[in-house]
Amino acid sequence: MQRERVGFIGLGRMGKPMAMNLLKAGFELIVWNRTRSKMEELLSMGAAAAHSPKDLAEHSDVVITIVSDTPDVMEVILGDNGVIHGVREGMVVIDMSTISPCAAQQIAAALSERGVQFLDAPVTGGEKGAIEATLNIMVGGDEKTLERCMPIFKALGKKVVHMGGNGMGQVAKLANQIICAINILAVCEGLMFAKKLGLDMNKLLDAISDGAASSWMLSNLAPKMLERDFEPGFSIRLQLKDIRLALEMAQKMMIPLPVTALVGQLMRAVEALGFGDKGTQATILALERLSGVEVNW
Q: Which residues are catalytic?
A: 173
* Beta carbons within 10 angstroms of residue 148's beta carbon: 16
- The count of residues in the chain is 297
Residue 259 makes CB contacts below 8 A (sequence gap 6+) with: 182, 185
Type and span of the H or E element at 9: strand 5-9
* Beta carbons within 10 angstroms of residue 10's beta carbon: 25
Burial 111-144 (b: 16+ CB within 10 A, else e): beeeebbbbbbbbbbbeebbbebebbbbbbbbee
Cβ–Cβ < 8 Å for 101, 174: yes
How far is residue 114 from each of residues 93, 201, 219, 280, 296, measured CA to CA in Å? Answer: 12, 58, 46, 40, 59
Residue 228 makes CB contacts below 8 A (sequence gap 6+) with: 297
Residue 245 makes CB contacts below 8 A (sequence gap 6+) with: 70, 98, 99, 100, 174
SS3 52: coil
Residue 246: closest CA among 272, 271, 266, 264: 264
Cβ–Cβ < 8 Å for 280, 184: yes
Type and span of the H or E element at 163: strand 157-164
